[in-house]
Amino acid sequence: MPTYSHSRLSSFVQCPLKFAWRYLWNAQSGAEGIEAFVGKRVHESLEWLYRRTAQGASPPSVEELQQDYATRWERNYGERVRIVADRGVAEYRSGGAECLTGYYSRHHPFDLGSTVGIERGFDFALEAESKLRVRGVIDRVDIAPDGAVEVHDYKTSSRTPSQAALSQDPQVGIYEMAAREIFPGHRQVRMIWHYLRSGVERQLPSRGPAELARFRQELVRQIRVVEARIEEYVGGLSGDESVALARASADPPGHVPVEARRSTREFPARPSPLCRWCDYLDWCREGSDSLGRPFAPPPPPPPAAPISERSSQGTLF
């Protein structure tokens, strides 16, 4: 049974078909949305800032932070970054820079806690008697002056949920469980979500043991629902489709194969306004129809030559 993450589960909730293409058929478009690109660069610059301070160095100036962001942007930006909104690349770039400037002004000189984890990965069992596991990466972990573990997460989207809505977000519960697995000696855990565009910071207190146990049980239930769908889906594939699925799982990520594109009861498409930003829109008839755009899936790439042929086509020096 695979290890789950918050993004894996949220993908299933958002659109089961997207989940199947990404996690069963190993399909990726090769493109990256500009929003995700901006978020990565902002996260990387904040990671750079806190790695410096965690090592005892003085915080960089805001100008140095902006230069780090600009360097990362120029190093990574290219044709594979896709813009679908009516905004130019300069506006997106300046938006990321403003996120960093605002965060810097609110938190300088960055001395309200001791940073003990940056991009801290986790992977732990949900049940002792089963193979259900959950994994992820925490942006930053601090030990606050009062001894509490503080889990920090940065968000660069324009949406800022309410405190009540955030308290119901499964990511918050997963990250608290992770913090308690990593730091079992600390009774108090605070979850602090930074919404960088609005400047709003949501702080959520620790959940009690009973509440956290209920959340864990619900998470297990959700994963078992998804796994049952997968089992039913795979069991209903034809022989040719089963062969195609095995081949797609073993190969590097690629396009959505023809065998994966039929509608299924287990993993239906769930069209919404978010389809406009979906990496799989070109292959999705339901998403294209919902947006009123022509459905014209790109042709599959030509098959790679056998290894024996490829090795004979080049010259070794």
Q: What is the 3-state secondary structure of the chain?
A: CCCECHHHHHHHHHCHHHHHHHHHCCECCCCEEHHHHHHHHHHHHHHHHHHHHHCCCCCCCHHHHHHHHHHHHHHHCCCCEECCCCCCHHHHHHHHHHHHHHHHHHHCCCCCCEEEEEEEEEEEECCCCCCCEEEEEEEEEEECCCCCEEEEEEECCCCCCCHHHHHCCHHHHHHHHHHHHHCCCCCCEEEEEEECCCCEEEEECCCCHHHHHHHHHHHHHHHHHHHHHHHHHHHCCCHHHHHHHHHHHHCCCECCCHHHCCCCCCCCCCCCHHHHHCCCHHHCHHHHHHHCCCCCCCCCCCCCCCHHHHHHHCCCC
Is residue 20 scored above 50 in pLDDT? yes
Q: What's the average model confidence in pLDDT over 83-88?
A: 85
CATH class in words for 114-214 = alpha beta
Q: Which pLDDT value is given to residue 316?
A: 33
Which pairs from 18-22 meet CB under 8 Å and 24+ separation? 18/269, 18/278, 18/280, 19/226, 19/267, 20/233, 20/260, 20/264, 20/266, 20/267, 21/256, 21/260, 21/280, 21/283, 22/280
List pLDDT tens digits, range 150-206.
Answer: 999 999 999 999 999 999 999 999 999 999 999 987 779 999 999 999 999 999 988
pLDDT tier at 313, thresholds 50, 70, 90: very low
Q: Which pLDDT value is given to residue 304?
A: 53
Sign of CA dihedral 26, 92, 94, 14: negative
How confident is the prediction for the chain on average, in pLDDT?
91
pTM recorded for the entire structure = 0.89
Say how far apart CA 126 and CA 262 lie, in whole Å.
34
Q: Which of 134, 132, 131 is nearest to 121 (CA)?
A: 134
Contact 278, 15 (CB under 8 A): yes
Per-domain residue ranges for the chain?
A: 17-28+238-305, 32-107, 114-214
Look at strands 189-195 and 149-155 and give their pairing: parallel
Q: What's the average model confidence in pLDDT over 133-152?
A: 96
pLDDT tier at 30, thresholds 50, 70, 90: confident
Contact 113, 142 (CB under 8 A): yes
List pLDDT tens digits, range 238-255.
Answer: 999 999 999 998 888 888
